[in-house]
């Protein structure tokens, strides 16, 4: 009907606006969507294993625990002595002839200081305990993130199975509707069917084809949800031929251009040797989360 056609046109305009909002330009001649078949796991067990390695929420929880563990080491480092080295070279005076070999008052000074925290009123120990408790909480959050990832995988996988079953059913429905339409049309040619019967059969075929299109969309989206749950819904997996932005390379370029000094490797090596080691995640928090 005209009302349904108007609603469909309005929905199309809304979809175009949503596309422009996400992509940044109006839709034109769109390329075919990338195939997801090669990226999808073969079984739900494989999906669980992939999610364990690359689920975004689980990765974020692991990184948060590593960061808080580093803050524990940072807090403990405050109990250690610190050494600072200072050096200064200066020259004063003036030369009427601007001769660089004229006498100037030159001076060289340097100093080495060692500081050891003796009494802090419990501030350092309190900071250590606070960092440790935060690390315990982050370690326990890993198990929660793991369970959430498993739930997402199970839900997305079952949606994919349902979408595949619906797709197969709609394909059979389209084949049956096409056979029925051809039969009605042939019967109409010999006077056994009316024009209205032919139009009704054609409408049934169009409805089946529309349902098939929707089923294909649902199956594709269900596959995308599975990839999102296992951490594979990324451009490097979907479009491997495209040149992607490398944040690490960009960071190194900016760092070497503006933030690097010649003596930094020596200081970094000394810090690496003297820095406290960051141990593994506390087992107590993980055991508590598993109960």
We report the CATH number of the domain holding residue 145 as 1.20.1600.10
Q: Does residue 165 have a pLDDT over 90?
A: yes
The answer, yes or no, to whether residue 283 has pLDDT greater than 60, is no
Q: How far apart are CA 168 and CA 158, in angstroms?
A: 15
What pLDDT does residue 287 have?
46
Is there a domain that residue 222 lies in?
yes
Q: Output DSSP code: residue 39.
A: T
Q: pTM value? A: 0.74
Number of domains in the chain: 1
Instruction: Give residue-wise pLDDT tens across range 9-41.
Output: 999 999 999 999 998 888 888 788 888 999 999
Residue with more model confidence, 15 or 92: 15
- pLDDT-based confidence at 2, cuts 50/70/90? confident
For residue 40, what is the DSSP state?
S
Q: In this structure, are residues 215 and 170 in contact, taking their beta carbons and an 8 Å threshold?
A: yes
Q: What is the average pLDDT score of the chain?
A: 85
Question: For residue 62, what pLDDT band results from cuts at 50, 70 and 90?
Answer: very high
Residue 186 located in a structural domain: yes
Would residue 243 count as lying in a domain?
no
Nearest to 146 by CA among 49, 281, 45, 46: 49
Residue 281 is given by DSSP the state P
User: Which of the four pLDDT bands, split at 50, 70 and 90, describes residue 107?
Assistant: confident
Query: 47-58 burial, b for 16+ CB within 10 Å, e for fewer?
Result: bbebbeebbbbb
Q: What is the pLDDT of residue 259?
A: 61
CA distances to 13, 195, 218 from 209, rounded to whole Å, are: 22, 21, 14
For helices 44-54 and 123-189, angle between their N-to-C axes, nearest 10 degrees: 140
Mean pLDDT to the nearest integer, 167-176:
97
pLDDT at 150 over 70: yes
CA angle, corner 114, sides to 274 and 270, nearest 5? 25
116 falls in which pLDDT band (50, 70, 90)?
confident
What residues make up the domain containing 42?
Answer: 36-78+124-234+279-291
Residue 146 pLDDT greater than 90, yes or no: yes
Ranges 36-50, 105-119, 139-153: which has the least confidence: 105-119
> Cα separation of 221 and 233, whole Å?
11
CA-based Rg of the chain, rounded to a whole angstrom? 34
Q: At residue 90, what are phi and psi to the nearest 5 degrees? A: -140, 160
pLDDT over 90 at 93, yes or no: no
Query: Is 177 among the domain residues?
Result: yes
Question: Between 246 and 137, whose confidence is greater?
Answer: 137
With a cut of 50, say whether residue 285 has pLDDT above it.
no
Q: Is residue 18 part of a domain?
A: no
- Is position 274 within any domain? no
- State both tokens at 187: 């019967």
Residue 113 lies in a domain: no
What's the pLDDT band for 290 if we cut at 50, 70, 90? very low
Q: Decide which of 90 and 46 is more confident.
A: 46
Q: Quick one: pLDDT at residue 103?
A: 59
Q: Is residue 40 part of a domain?
A: yes
**Can you spell out the DSSP letters for 155-187?**
HHHHHHHHHHHHHHHHHHHHHHHHHHHHHHHHH
Rounded mean pLDDT, 143-172? 96
Structure-model confidence comparison of residues 85 and 106, the more confident one: 85
Whether the predicted pLDDT of 65 surpasses 60: yes
In a 13 Å sphere around the CA of 265, the CA atoms on its Cβ side amount to 2
pLDDT at 121: 79
């Amino acid at each position: 009907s005209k009302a349904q056609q108007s609603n469909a046109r309005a929905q199309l305009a809304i979809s175009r606006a949503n596309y422009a909002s996400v992509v940044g330009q109006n839709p034109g001649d769109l390329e075919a969507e990338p195939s997801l078949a090669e990226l999808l796991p073969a079984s739900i067990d494989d999906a669980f294993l992939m999610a364990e390695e690359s689920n975004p929420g689980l990765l974020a929880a692991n990184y948060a625990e590593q960061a808080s563990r580093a803050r524990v080491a940072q807090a403990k480092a405050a109990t250690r002595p610190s050494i600072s080295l200072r050096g200064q070279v200066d020259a004063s005076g003036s030369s009427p002839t601007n001769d660089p070999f004229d006498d100037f008052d030159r001076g060289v000074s340097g100093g080495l200081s060692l500081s050891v925290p003796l009494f802090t009123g419990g501030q350092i120990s309190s900071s250590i305990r606070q960092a440790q408790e935060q690390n315990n909480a982050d370690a326990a959050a890993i198990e929660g993130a793991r369970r959430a990832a498993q739930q997402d995988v199970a839900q997305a996988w079952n949606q994919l199975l349902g979408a595949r079953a619906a797709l197969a059913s709609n394909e059979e429905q389209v084949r049956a509707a096409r056979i029925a339409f051809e039969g009605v049309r042939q019967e109409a040619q010999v006077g056994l069917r009316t024009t209205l019967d032919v139009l009704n059969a054609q409408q049934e075929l169009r409805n089946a084809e529309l349902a098939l299109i929707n089923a294909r969309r649902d199956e594709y989206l269900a596959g995308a949800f599975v990839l999102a749950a296992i951490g594979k819904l990324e451009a490097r997996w979907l479009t491997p031929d495209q040149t992607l932005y490398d944040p690490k390379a960009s960071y190194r370029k900016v760092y070497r251009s503006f933030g690097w000094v010649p003596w930094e490797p020596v200081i970094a090596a000394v810090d690496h040797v003297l820095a406290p080691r960051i141990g593994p995640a506390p087992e107590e928090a993980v055991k508590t989360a598993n109960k």
